[in-house]
Amino acid sequence: MKQQTIILTGGGTAGHVSLNQAILPSLLELGYDVHYIGSEQGIEKELIGETFPNVPFYGIASGKLRRYFSMKNFTDPFKVLAGMMQAFRIIKKVKPQVVFSKGGFVSVPVVMAAKLAGVPVVIHESDVTPGLANKIALPFASHVFTIFEETLKHLPSDKATCTGSIIRPELLKGERAKGLAYCGFTTLKPVLLVMGGSLGSVVLNDALRKNLPELLKQFYVIHLCGKGNYDESLESLSGYKQFEYVTTELPDLMHAADFIVSRAGSNSIFEFLALHKPMLLVPLSAQKSRGDQILNANLFKKQGYAEVLQEEALTKESFMKSVYTLTGRKEEMVETMSKTQKPKTPDEMASLILNYQK
């Protein structure tokens, strides 16, 4: 019997790769031949290559989809067209039974090519409202899965299902003691983990670093600052440990944290929720994004899982005030989080996707 095949796609940020990383072992265990299509220079090539070196990775051309005026809006459609032709050739060669897309700009030409090749497409949307890439891809999809129940009202009712969050099993297996040891910390003080996403956040980094003298009186601080944002002048600062980016150590660091300050990407905040970590969310401003993180953060605040500080209001003083508010609500937040529905496993998500294979 011929081995069955699946193509995964998604990229641009770690958030558009993490679910694919989570379900990949489940698909391999089921005996599927898994292939990945990403962008030529995207973070997905590194993330998939590091963890799954035996999974074939194909880099294709990808144009950015912009909601604002740019001369590149006139040239990037040709990149999308080139990417679609490249993806079509890959699909015809690999012959997958289904394509699964986690979104991001690179997924658009892949989804279009799959439809053209007669291959079913399953999309995953993790924000409250669909992103532009998924909006464009929607007509070519057989089905869309969402994390938020609220997202369903933005999608066709006959091909959308809310699954809730999907959490990587290794995240739940992290160990606090290992995370503390990795940073050289003890149990004398609570740990504040500050992270700005895979690309880092300059405004969040600045607000944290300006407050380090005050914060270190009460906390150990783990800082995931993003590539290119490492500050060598702070290397010898006691109680402060900075990393540009971590992969295998992340579960241990998250288990070591008592509080988390972060952007409000949906994958991350649902991971914090699953681990019952009180969080202060600083969503990307509407000027820098389509506002999806603001919706995510406000919904989590409404449900009692998070404190929110809007980026426009982020100052040295407001940052500290919000951290103090967060620490004062720890027990209340943890209790609220403990009552939430358990996240789906990657095995369960893989089964849902495979229901749509041809």
Q: Which residues have CB under 8 Å from 195's CB, separation 6+?
A: 223, 224, 260, 261, 262, 263, 268
Residue 15 is assigned to a ligand binding site: yes
The torsion angles phi and psi of 126, rounded to 5 degrees, stand at -105, -5
Q: Rounded to an integer, what distance in angstroms lies between the CA atom of residue 95 and that of residue 77? A: 26
Contact 305, 273 (CB under 8 A): yes
- 259-262 sheet: strands from edge to edge: 240-243, 220-224, 191-195, 259-262, 279-281, 306-308
Residue with tokens 């490492």: 230
The angle formed by the CA atoms of residues 63, 105 and 345, to the nearest 5 degrees, is: 160
Tokens for 123, please give them.
């999309």
Using CA atoms, how far residue 238 sits from 185, 209, 210, 245, 285, in Å, is 9, 13, 15, 20, 32
Residue 340 is assigned to a ligand binding site: no
| Nearest one of 267, 269, 277, 255 to 298, comparing CA atoms | 269
Contact 243, 184 (CB under 8 A): no
Residue 13 is assigned to a ligand binding site: yes
The angle formed by the CA atoms of residues 239, 271 and 11, to the nearest 5 degrees, is: 100
Contact 293, 264 (CB under 8 A): yes
Residue 168 is assigned to a ligand binding site: yes
Angle (deg, nearest 10), helices 72-94 and 107-116: 50
Contact 9, 106 (CB under 8 A): yes
Q: Rounded to an integer, what distance in angstroms lies between the CA atom of residue 73 and that of residue 178? A: 47
Q: Rounded to an integer, what distance in angstroms lies between the CA atom of residue 215 and that of residue 210? A: 10
Q: Which residues have CB under 8 Å from 317's CB, separation 6+?
A: none
Q: Which residues are annotated as a binding site?
A: 13-15, 168, 198, 293
Q: Which residues are annotated as a binding site for UDP-N-acetyl-alpha-D-glucosamine?
A: 13-15, 168, 198, 293
